[in-house]
Structure 1
Amino acid sequence: MTTYHYVLASQKFLLEEEPFQEVLEERYRYYKEHNQEIDFWLVKQPAFLEAPSLQSVKEKCPQPAVAVISTNVNFINWLKLRLEYVLTGSFDAPSEEISDPLASLESVNSDQ
């Protein structure tokens, strides 16, 4: 089992109101320059929010949500310092509640 850390926000805030693409590009460039493997992912409508233990987190975040998920807690802390109005936390996966830490509900919801 792996511990995943996340920054969570509304899609409108993170993807439209913040210069977030620049932040990710900067971090990607940093990882590449230091020969580090990418350990962060952007997930729209993250499925992990459906876990019963994370319902209170889901209720606090305007929907639709987006998360940056990472195995690197320092990266998540760095993001938290750069952004406002985000929630942070962590979860272990795979587990009975969360089988795929990077799963998205976006394709499921777009079919409806």
Structure 2
Amino acid sequence: MTTYHFIAASERFLTVEEPLEEVLRERQRNYAETGKEIDFWLVKQPVFLEAAEMADVKAKVPQPAAAVVSTDPTFITFLKLRLEYVVVGSFEAPSEVIPDALANAV
């Protein structure tokens, strides 16, 4: 199993109101230059929020939701500090409860 860390917010907030696309593009460019494999994804309507263990998180996130998911907790902390209205969490996948953490990744 892999531990995934995430920020979640309304899809509109993450994709329209905040310059998140610019941050993700810059990080992708940096990874390409340094030969690092991509370890972050933008997920629209994240299915992992449907898991019973995520009920508290889902209740805090306006719908429709989106999330940035990463295996790098430092990157998620950076995003949390940069973006005010997000919920932070983590989970392990694949599991019986969360079979495909990256379903709907863009």
Q: What TM-score do you get using the length of structure 2 for normalisation?
A: 0.94
Q: Which aligned pairs between 1:51-70 and structure 2 lie closer than 5 A?
A: 51-70=51-70
Q: Deviations over 1:56-80 (max 9, x none)?
A: 1001000000011111111111111
Cα distance in 1 for partners of 2:20, 2:99 equals 28
In the TM superposition, what is the alpha-carbon distance from 1:50 to its structure 2 partner?
0.6
Q: SS of 1:36's equivalent?
A: coil
In the TM superposition, what is the alpha-carbon distance from 1:32 to its structure 2 partner?
1.4
In the TM superposition, what is the alpha-carbon distance from 1:16 to its structure 2 partner?
0.9
In the TM superposition, what is the alpha-carbon distance from 1:88 to its structure 2 partner?
0.8
Structure-2 residue corresponding to 1:43: 43
Structure-1 residue corresponding to 2:71: 71
Instruction: List alignment gaps of at least 5 residues for structure 1.
Output: 105-112
Moved over 4 A (4+): none
In the TM superposition, what is the alpha-carbon distance from 1:19 to its structure 2 partner?
1.0
In the TM superposition, what is the alpha-carbon distance from 1:20 to its structure 2 partner?
1.2
Q: SS of 1:5's equivalent?
A: strand
The count of corresponding residues between Structure 1 and Structure 2 is 104
Q: SS of 2:6's equivalent?
A: strand
Instruction: List alignment gaps of at least 5 residues for structure 2.
Output: none
Cα distance in 2 for partners of 1:33, 1:103 equals 27
C-alpha RMSD of the superposition: 0.9
Q: Partner letter of residue 84 of structure 1?
A: E
Larger radius of gyration: 1
Structure-2 residue corresponding to 1:6: 6
- Matched residues, percent identical? 63
Q: Which moved more, 1:52-61 or 1:75-84?
A: 75-84
In the TM superposition, what is the alpha-carbon distance from 1:96 to its structure 2 partner?
1.0
Structure-2 residue corresponding to 1:109: none
